[in-house]
Amino acid sequence: MAKAVRVSAKEKQDENRRRWGMVIDLDRCTGCQACVVACHAENNVPVVGEQEAARSHSMHWIRIERYWEGEYPNVKARFMPVLCQHCGEAPCEPVCPVFATYHTPEGLNAQVYNRCIGTRYCGSACPYKVRVFNWFRPDFPEPLEQQLNPDVSVRQRGIIEKCSFCVQRIRRVELDADASGREVEDGEVQPACVQSCPPSALIFGDLNDPESEASQLARSRRAFRLLDFLGTDPAVIYLKGGETNV
């Protein structure tokens, strides 16, 4: 008599658990900054102005790094969008004394703004330099406050913020799918940067779903992860530029 295999609710949940991740195809990226502005617009990221930007206080959640290679005339510039890597083994998480930064079950590195007390330990621990600090109270001269996305809280002075993989969009898609009794489809969740990217250099999806576009691309032989040797297990996978998959 075969013994019935009992799957506990928890195990079942683990089995279906997503790991949200992003693939960034450097061969497509043109450095056009559409993702940067889209992110400011979606996530109510404040603008700090010239003086503070010059002091490295600007608050982009995603930035395009540009690297020069070689000397004139054999010079090459390469672009690399860098955002929170949503590390599986995130160096920012254990250092937070108040658990403001923590790991969600579906692989998001989350920041709980109203727990944050502004020690900036996480910002120091992050090897990717993607955590930004609110040095000032954000200023939206009237009527610019009307541009704010009501789904995202405006952060106050004295706390750290960073890319959330547009968690408000993930939740909205999940709720909508739930309400109509279906599963979330691949490609349905699009963070603002992914949605805007003209050459489709950014692809978002569930890395635990072997069929998702993101996880298929993540298995490309062009794939690498940023500072992978640190053992941070990033959920952002880069595809090397300048060569073809085909």
Binding site for another protein (CB under 8 A): 25, 27-34, 36-38, 40-42, 47-51, 53-54, 56, 58, 60, 63-66, 68, 70-73, 75-79, 82, 129, 141-144, 146-150, 192, 195-201, 242-246
Give, in order, the Cα–Cα distances in Å from 127 to each of 10, 86, 121: 33, 12, 12
State in angstroms the smallest separation of the CB of 29 from another protein: 8
For residue 185, the minimal CB distance to another protein (Å) is 14
Are residues 34 and 42 in contact, defined by beta-carbon separation less than 8 angstroms? no
Distance (Å, whole) CA 109 – CA 93: 8
- CB of residue 225 to another protein, shortest distance in Å: 17
Question: In the bound complex, what is the minimum distance in angstroms from residue 47's beta carbon to another protein?
Answer: 4
Residue 64 CB, nearest approach to another protein (Å): 6
CA–CA distance, 217 with 42 (Å, rounded to integer): 26
C-beta closer to another protein: residue 50 or 211: 50
**Residue 17 per-residue DSSP state:** -
Return the number of the residue (34 or 92) whose C-beta is nearest another protein: 34
- Asked whether the bond before 97 is cis by omega within 30 degrees of 0, the reply is no
Residue closer to another protein (CB basis): 17 or 55: 55
Radius of gyration of the chain (CA): 19
Name, in order, each residue with C-beta under 8 angstroms of 211's C-beta and a sequence gap of 6 or more: 186
